[in-house]
Amino acid sequence: MSDASANLARVRDTAFAELDAPAPAFTSALVAILSGQVASGAVTLLTEITYARLLGPAARGVISLCLMSVAFGALVGGLGCEAVIVYWAARSKNNVSSWIPAVSFWGGLGCVASAGLWILGYWQLRLPIFRGISPGSARAVLVTIPAAVLFAFTMALASGTEQFRMRSACAALRQIAGLATFLLFLALLGRNANAALWGNFVGLIAGSLVALSLLRESVQQFSRLDGAFEHLGPTLSYGLRGQIGNLATFFNYRLDVFVVNYFLDSTQLGLYALGVVISEALWQIPQAVASALFPRTARTVERDAKQFTCLVLRQTLLVTSACGLAVALFSPIMIPLIFGRRFAASVAVIWWILPGTTALSLAKVACADLAGRGKNGYSSAAAFICFAMTAGLDWYLIPRMGITGAALASSAAYFVDALLILAALRYEMDVSWKRLLIPTRDDARMYRAYWLRLRSLLRFGAPTVGLNTHAASSRECD
């Protein structure tokens, strides 16, 4: 057996061992996250259908603009502390630490700064990129920013402590509570964006409170105040290293929303926003993989992290490419059928942006591995390059091509972003492009072994093929 095959066999056996090992394990974590994202995705789809059918493209555009403003405010307010929480929680398992008070301090200070920026931009400067947002919607954005920061922190703590089933349940609860509250407010506030925004606020609060109650042991364990002062500097340093890049990444992903609203109108923004949401559904699997991979890499960076990440990236490319092809084929039929003929123009947006979203799926997984190695500076550098590219393309293409120009600009920037991040990961792990991205015969053998195990589980209701059998099967295949 070659060295490469031997390494793959060891990684594969590790994956099978994790199937049998007590949680947390990568495979069980991935299944837990995916199950939660499937549930959340189903509710999100139902919510999008409700927005489309009951509110129409114009109100959907205002909702998108407000939610992007909340996302930006939460990003500024969080000061990068989500990554700090995941990184330190994963590395300080079962050890009492005092870093959570430091995280809470910076998060609170960041929320104050973020709220001030929103007040300045909307009420004082009256920036034209916020055109169409009513004062009532602006107030909803203002109070939702700290709620979004709190929810992000609780989800990060769940990820860092690898309580992925609970994390998935709370994420799904947030979506369900948001939809239910939207329908309630629809009767009280009428058919406008405010009902959706307040529903989103209630969903964030509900998900955060439930998560905090379930994480109370972890919070108590990590919340000793003694020595908290000495963690203020390291917390801010680690967070800001990635945060500046996160801001650039946000504008790389979402600058188009503000530019479309500036050059066009809320109806065109609504059509564009739906196309983006559908195309970014491809990110469900990569985001789940990234959430599970970040803490695993932080734990195993000195062991098998390199081989395992290569294996995961190859499978991510295969799955997202197949899903992207399916979305491209079925969207011309399904978009008008599900969301209404008013949204037929969103199909072109989906087609233009799909190549970029497929490529960026790999970057999401690669960024998680780099962050687990403490190398989150690469994502910042790539984000700045792509932000400049996105800004230039948006301002050139949107006035000339409309929402399809916005989709093309985003797709091109996503491609460049993915290429830069993958190049950085390849450099850090010292592997070839082929090993990083191209599925191998050993991968096919792994699929066969997983299929045999799944068939055994379905037939007998319990594992009957043990780790030694898998190892023996792999040797026979070689």
pLDDT per residue as tens digits for the range 143-173:
999 999 999 999 998 888 878 888 888 998 9
Q: Which helix (H) or strand (E) holds 303?
A: none
Residue 168 has a pLDDT of 85
In this prediction the pTM is 0.80
How far apart, in Å, are the Cα atoms of 267 and each of 132, 196, 272, 288?
10, 17, 9, 32
- Listed by start position, the domains of the chain span 3-439
Per-residue pLDDT tens over the stretch 105-129: 888 999 999 999 999 999 999 999 9
Could you write out the DSSP letters of every residue in 76-91? Answer: HHHTTHHHHHHHHHHH
The dihedral sign for the CA sequence 66, 69, 73, 74: positive
226 touches 361 (CB < 8 A): no
Per-residue pLDDT tens over the stretch 316-346: 999 999 999 999 999 999 999 999 999 999 9
Has residue 291 got a pLDDT over 50?
Answer: yes
Residue 348 has a pLDDT of 96
Enumerate the H helices of 215-304 as residue ranges. Answer: 216-221, 228-263, 266-279, 284-300
412 touches 356 (CB < 8 A): yes
The per-residue pLDDT of the chain, averaged, comes to 84
How far apart, in Å, are the Cα atoms of 357 and each of 7, 254, 270, 304, 354?
31, 13, 19, 29, 5
By CB atoms closer than 10 A (0-12, 13-18, 19+), residue 329 is exposed
